[in-house]
Copies of this chain bind each other. A is one copy, B any other.
Amino acid sequence: MTDNSDLYIPTFCDMLEAHERIRPYVHKTPVLTSSYLNSLIGAEIFFKCENFQKAGVFKARGASNAVFGLDEEKAKKGVATHSSGNHGLSLSYAAGRRGITATVVMPHTAPDAKKDAVRGYGGTIVECEPSTSSREAVFAEVVEKTGADFIHPYNDPRVVAGQGTCSREMLEQVDDLDAIIAPIGGGGMVSGTCLTLSNMAPNIKIYAAEPKNADDAYRSFKAGHIIADDAPQTVADGLKVPLKDLTWHFVSNYVEDILLATEEEIIDAMKLTWERMKIVMEPSSAVPLATMIKNKPVFAGKRVGVIITGGNVDLDKLPWNK
């Protein structure tokens, strides 16, 4: 085990508590199957559809756990983050349900669609310049002024415990899984999956799927220490962020392997899923299937859970309509 003496590692009990806490605010998402994709891979595949989750993404779980776990005093001061993507949406959603403020710091250059989405879920946007230094300065100012609780998108035990509720549901929904595969960026979902399965079903192998263009988790996994990429470019824009100490703990200890897919393979798998399963999912969610298509022997004859992480995609800019 990695030495993490200064790090609070969420426990199985934290995940169970998270599940009771967030149940009124998140969906128990359905599991779908496709006989076509089963034949294609030569496996029995069970797709856990977190694209149908509140805010369109699994991150509503972790955000809800963090928001609803605050005591009254802290809650009054609100929550804050600097993720303009799915975590910003999810935090806005959860804070809105609790009736507290979520402040999302984002560059004034962010697309209007992203700003509208955060506002649509009730979040408050504070704009910064499009640089890391400005973002950090503005964010510090917000926290200083409001006393808001900073909720990191993934390097936070409350968030990881919340994400772990997804695979707990899956164990209720599907018997005898041999493996579960999820996309990996910062590692929040994969860590939550590790937390749950290492306690409830340690025989189930956990795979992570990553874009080749943003393969920092893969390289970290092979090297045995965190390697962060410098601004990777991939269509799977939810997966550009690096592992942090908390998620590295889970990934390094419990993941069986990390598999890679190219941009073209990701886009093909995404389109194939839309066509055959009739679901809208974002590019990040297609990475697991893309890696399964090129690693069929790994999954042959197995019962495999695939976590479709989210469905927030700009329908006016689909990656195959270039």
Q: Which residues of A line the B interface, CB within 8 A?
A: 30, 32, 49, 51-52, 56, 271, 274-275, 277-281, 311, 315-316, 318, 320-321
Query: Contact partner of A316 among B51, B279, B311, B320, CB < 8 A?
Result: B320
The answer on a CB contact under 8 Å between A56 and B281 is no
User: Nearest Cβ in chain B — how far from A136, in angstroms?
Assistant: 32
User: Nearest Cβ in chain B — how far from A46, in angstroms?
Assistant: 14
Q: Which residues from B are CB-within-8-Å of A318? A: 315, 318, 321
Given known contacts A30-B32, A318-B321, what 20 new A-B pairs fall within 8 Å (CB)? A30-B30, A32-B52, A49-B278, A51-B278, A52-B278, A56-B278, A271-B315, A274-B280, A274-B315, A275-B315, A278-B279, A278-B280, A278-B281, A279-B280, A280-B280, A315-B320, A316-B320, A316-B321, A318-B318, A321-B321
The answer on a CB contact under 8 Å between B315 and A278 is no
Report the Cα distance A271→B56, complex, angstroms: 15
Q: Which residues from B are CB-within-8-Å of A277? A: 52
Q: Which residues from B are CB-within-8-Å of A321? A: 316, 318, 321
Report the Cα distance A26→B51, complex, angstroms: 24
What are 6 A-B interface contacts by the 8 Å CB criterion?
A30-B32, A279-B280, A280-B280, A315-B318, A316-B320, A316-B321
A282 to B, closest residue via Cβ = B278
Q: Which residues from B are CB-within-8-Å of A278? A: 49, 51-52, 56, 279-281, 311
Q: Which residues from B are CB-within-8-Å of A32? A: 30, 52
Q: Which residues from B are CB-within-8-Å of A49? A: 278
Q: Which residues from B are CB-within-8-Å of A274? A: 280, 315
A33 to B, closest residue via Cβ = B27
4 tightest Cβ-Cβ pairs between the two chains A and B? A278-B311, A278-B280, A51-B278, A274-B280
Which of A49, A278, A321 neighbours the largest number of chain B CB atoms within 10 Å of its CB? A278
Q: Which residues from B are CB-within-8-Å of A52? A: 32, 277-278
User: Nearest Cβ in chain B — how far from A122, in angstroms?
Assistant: 13
Q: Which residues from B are CB-within-8-Å of A56? A: 278
Q: Which residues from B are CB-within-8-Å of A311? A: 278
Q: Which residues from B are CB-within-8-Å of A271? A: 315
Report the Cα distance A32→B51, complex, angstroms: 13
Which of A51, A279, A321 neighbours the largest number of chain B CB atoms within 10 Å of its CB? A279
Q: Which residues from B are CB-within-8-Å of A316? A: 320-321
Q: Which residues from B are CB-within-8-Å of A281? A: 278
